[in-house]
Structure 1
């Protein structure tokens, strides 16, 4: 006979205790004290998600503080969760993008990303559209849309660009979880990440308001007459360059003067970000932003109405530069100046020019040197002999003011390219002089000239 405990039998008391210990930990994870639904139980799809092998996704859901929102969604209707495998979030995701998602200030972007993986409707493999139906659009919990399709030949099921690798992986009365191969990234989150990229500001902001000297009269410049918006600059681009090696300083008035009708700084930031996203041109971007003030100077020139074409060597080409070539004062600036053409050229315009004229000389910002372009192998080749470079990635960035053309080599003026073999020969002859000296010392030792032999050693 069961002994009563405060009017309740012992068997009934322990049954209640087991139920409390079994359900309370999971319920505490999901329920917020302010939540009024109270409909989540141990058989919920949310509990299954937190206890499943999709640990990376479950961790992001907890960090995004989405449990109460998902609890309310489950209370209203069934849901379908597309869960990326752990490797897609742990190893295959861009570390910089992951840091961006986990920053407290970007919680809204993380919530948008996660809600993009949830449809407020139960869609099992049986309800998936077949090959004849084509792509079917479904609205997610964040008012975006995903498209479910079945590939014709293989019969593979996909959601947007991600393949479903574990269909109906977890099924519960209030929802289903499908395992997918990769993370789904909505356009709004990708654009937000691009805007907050690490390129926060361009260095070496030039001072404003200092007295300016007219390069033609060498006197203080008087206030310039207003120039119509969009009109060409008053002075040549060389007179507008900032102080630099062998260049005379003289800022030029631009179209609209200090009002900057051309937002050159934003355009320069945009093209440098494009280099980073394109990939393979990180060294060029690093020189422009961190090693020199050329990015700021280019932004000011574009703001004043000038146009530029940048011949950007890729990382493989930049890696061949030696320490001696970069260590001299002003060397990085001189190298980049030779890769900037004060014209707006695209792949089509340069190719048409070399096809028509054979060889074309373009002025560069490294006075008085020019860079020669000619047709070669159906493309455009710049430079001379071994120091030449081909147009490798055409039209990486073209916005009407700045044009960026990727090349596969670092260019040098012809005069400097000729000097390189002489220095190489000089280095090659040094071991020979050492061998001759060693032979002479041995001969002196053989003839008994001990004093000379010791001096040789």
Structure 2
């Protein structure tokens, strides 16, 4: 305030800005003090960026959260390693050797589990988890007998003998369990423990036993789940090709053939499932307009049935009647417009309200592919639900899980979504129309004023009109 009274306003502003930046850096350093040096380096690299980029819904990290390895995903989140792993995935492919949930729930030493969950052992937990991640892509077909450096800076030996693959002391139970563009997950039958973490655990156990002896854990046999594997069914089928392979070559112009005998390897009755979800939309109430577009205005019902029959899964973001009622007749009457609108609301993967909310809550921003290639939908967390799109054109997840059958998921939203590029083009076109209208108005006004001035000049009264001078 003294410098304000003295009139040196510029100096005051500089002092305030420097003070705020120092305070922000101190807060970040305090929050990351529990991380390992590698994790701190990853966090520090993000300080210069003002906003966190959206992670793709097809990322291996998102797949880890929605897989058979959720126990490992929870440990990664507890160890504050999600953001550092996002940084690694952003620059290179990764390979994760993931113990199954049953391994971490029932086969892990209770004392070792207690050691990992104590706050004072955060660095050991981080080192243990990073020992399971190799910063390069290693698929089962490229195994070999090699040693790869992990994110923990320790070497991890891969070996193959008699067709059986192993990593360190663990066997590969599910090779290529999850394959994504930015990484691979292999299922393993035990936790990988580096020597440094084992030494930390031994030291912790000696100190713990010297103070308070620990008794054997009490095991309730009623809580032990059966490890017997269920027989494989057709529902385990995963398509070999991309979902776009199952679509017609020109879906907006030519309808796809209805699924039937002799038309390919149809594993599911997609036509019955599509009829079921459209029937559900009608009876749910508030989604009659979308049902009408799917059945009467387009051939999309047949197209979706073909996709589902081929074994693919889809998620439909369904705008309610109020949102679709705002579309004009011109918007729907343009060739291919209804198809393009609906294609942008179909995600070629199976998502429920819970899975989408968990993803945006943990990663902040997710990008989902749509059947309107190459446009994507951005999802964030807002008001305790999922928000699709940006700005005034964003839509909330309004009615969740209207229809979910494991193949088709329908989620109700309160607005019609448009690609960001299309919104920019529309705004630019409106701006050009406004400019043209202003130019036309000014031109007409100029011609009228010229005629009036000419009239006054002929009668000798031009000096009375200031605009004519």
With structure 2 as the length reference, what TM-score do the two structures score?
Answer: 0.44
More helix by share: 2
**Who wins on radius of gyration, i.e. which is larger?**
1
Question: With structure 1 as the length reference, what TM-score do the two structures score?
Answer: 0.45
